[in-house]
Structure 1
Amino acid sequence: MDPRTVWGTTLARRLLAAVAAVLLLVVPASTAAAAPPPGLVWWATIDGNRVDYATPSAPIKLGASDQARIEVYLDNRGTGPIDVRSVRIDGRVIGMAFFSYTTRLDIALPAGEQTSRRFDIDITDLTRQATGQLPATVSLVGPDRKTVDDRDFTVDVAGSMFSVYGAFGLIVAGITAVVLAGLLVAIWRRQLPRNRWQRGVRFLPAGIGVGLVLTFTLSATRLLTPSATLWLPVLLICAGAAFMIGYLLPVGKDEPPPPQPDPEATVLQAPSRPLV
């Protein structure tokens, strides 16, 4: 078997293992959180809007004011007490937190009791951290700093394209443009590997970059909320399409022709005579 083919197959297997590891790491933390206490019923509002009802088609708008009013209602219908140390609101995209606000409440709720808390959070810096539609989570945090329970919702931040979120998307777009330019130059100069696996792997970073740029662009323009159930398929589809383009592209390095003997350099040698 051609050593280059063996090397390409081995590299592809390692790449698939790396992709699987990344997918395990970017699974939302809520899926790994412990089950909520039995009998806990609760809801939260932001500026009078229930987070339960905040969907991509009806997000909670933030950024028009420098503060947001939060109200949390808890009902302990279980048989044991429930302790809530604080409430945390954060927004995460592709596993990274772009904004986070935590307020300490120190709630000790006995069985059969209800309580509510109302407080304001300062979000003056929110418009400098994010923009567009983002997935967010409101979490009840226990005394051990572990999540007691959480609710996912969608926010629409009236921020700037030069916020941290927007700048990150612009940086990814710039890197992707450089990678694509390098691929075009390699195609024009016929410098791509002849091995199909190696060629497909060469195209993978461009596909991942296009997937990320598409995710951030659709989020900033409020056409898509990049939850894990949406941005992961977009990323995988773009990466897979780029790999297949590289794999099927009929271009590669031109191998030099084998050296031809020079007839003028050929010297006719007389047969040697046997020694007497």
Structure 2
Amino acid sequence: MRSRASAATRIVLLPSVFTLISVMLAGLFAAPVVGRPQGVDMSATIDDHDIADTTAAEPLRLQPNSTIRVAIALTNNTPAAVRIRRVDLAGHVLGLSFFSYSTAVELSIAPGKSDALRYRLDLTGLDGQATGLIVADLAVIGADGARIASIPLDTDVRGSLWSVYGLFGIALAVLTMLAIADAALAIARHRLSTNRWQRGLRLLAPGGGIGLVFGFTASVARWWVPDTGLWLAVAAVAAVVGYLLGYCSPTPEVAPEEYFASTGELDEIDGMNTVRFRADGQTT
């Protein structure tokens, strides 16, 4: 019964392990934010603050249901005219977009000329999209849908914990707690594998989950801006620490019948023909 319960627990926790690994791989292989191409110079201010000067210590504060003033200056140093159709303001975490606002514009800049865009952006609905310190970028999009220029910035989103980003972090925390509980029960019941590699893998997912949850907590608590590379590095270090703890943990003592059952030798013994000896020395 205990082996069936343990197997059922592992089956239930498999999605959590796959989710943690998928999140880490999604961030690892996510396309990087495209920088501005050569030949097009861009500068921008939001509420009269140069967004290129934003840092984790001095981020741009975005208040839900408020209006911000956006001013963009562009210089076309290319030999062809540049046509602007849209301006996007989006926040990204681990390669995933958690808030996004698009504004339709009409602007054409002749070669060697400069022009500017000024508009007001309504942040309605931001409280349901994200909260905490988030890396964002302001990008101008051409008529063909290609990004012409962009500027990264650090934002302080004053949204709700029950936003999409907040629920993403809560889901990470729940999955991590389930993985920790599964490992703790296995340790308490002496159900860890006698194989060091398997013990290490058993604690790999809880370690990586702790690293991801730490990054989310630091973002929501406004301790740091969750840069993808740094966040994944923290999660990777935590996963390695978890693996080493499992690998170096003492080998649990296993009863003989449990050992044979785990290796499959018990079934072979049961299937063998048995021979009984009578008192007179003959077999039956």
TM-score by length of 1: 0.81
* Partners of 1:63 and 1:215 in 2: CA distance: 22
* 30 and 179 in structure 1: CA distance in 2 versus 1, 3 angstrom threshold: closer
* Partners of 1:62 and 1:20 in 2: CA distance: 30
- Aligned-residue offset at 1:25: 5.9
- Aligned-residue offset at 1:135: 0.7
- Aligned-residue offset at 1:172: 1.6
- Aligned-residue offset at 1:20: 11
- Aligned-residue offset at 1:234: 1.0
Indicate the residue corresponding to 2:5 in structure 1: none
Note if 1:250 corresponds to 2:245: no
What SS does the corresponding residue of 2:254 show, helix, strand or coil?
coil
Alignment of 1:65-214 (within 5 A): 66-214=66-214
Q: Which runs of 5+ in 1 are unaligned?
A: 1-14, 260-264
* Partners of 2:143 and 2:68 in 1: CA distance: 25
Note if 1:231 corresponds to 2:206: no
- Aligned-residue offset at 1:28: 4.8
The count of residues paired between Structure 1 and Structure 2 equals: 249
* Partners of 2:110 and 2:250 in 1: CA distance: 70
* Partners of 1:37 and 1:83 in 2: CA distance: 15
Indicate the residue corresponding to 1:29 in structure 2: 31
What SS does the corresponding residue of 1:30 show, helix, strand or coil?
coil
- Aligned-residue offset at 1:91: 0.6
* 27 and 89 in structure 1: CA distance in 2 versus 1, 3 angstrom threshold: farther
Alpha-carbon RMSD across the aligned residues, in angstroms, is: 2.8
What SS does the corresponding residue of 1:160 show, helix, strand or coil?
coil
* Partners of 2:252 and 2:84 in 1: CA distance: 61
- Any conservation in 1 of the 2:68–2:120 contact (CA below 8 Å)? yes
- Any conservation in 2 of the 1:193–1:253 contact (CA below 8 Å)? no
AA of the residue aligned to 1:66 = S
Q: Which runs of 5+ in 2 are unaligned?
A: 1-16, 261-265, 267-275
* Partners of 1:139 and 1:79 in 2: CA distance: 21
- The sequence identity of aligned pairs, in percent, is 32
- Aligned-residue offset at 1:126: 0.8
- Any conservation in 1 of the 2:26–2:94 contact (CA below 8 Å)? no
- Any conservation in 2 of the 1:219–1:226 contact (CA below 8 Å)? yes
CA shift digits 1:86-108 (9 cap, x unpaired): 11111111122110011122322
Indicate the residue corresponding to 1:215 in structure 2: 215
Indicate the residue corresponding to 2:58 in structure 1: 58
- Any conservation in 2 of the 1:37–1:82 contact (CA below 8 Å)? no
* 207 and 271 in structure 1: CA distance in 2 versus 1, 3 angstrom threshold: closer
- Any conservation in 1 of the 2:42–2:150 contact (CA below 8 Å)? no
- Any conservation in 1 of the 2:64–2:123 contact (CA below 8 Å)? no
* Partners of 2:146 and 2:68 in 1: CA distance: 24
TM-score by length of 2: 0.78
AA of the residue aligned to 1:121 = L
- Aligned-residue offset at 1:269: 5.0
AA of the residue aligned to 1:122 = D
Deviates more, 1:35-44 or 1:207-216: 35-44
- Any conservation in 1 of the 2:65–2:126 contact (CA below 8 Å)? no
* Partners of 2:281 and 2:46 in 1: CA distance: 101
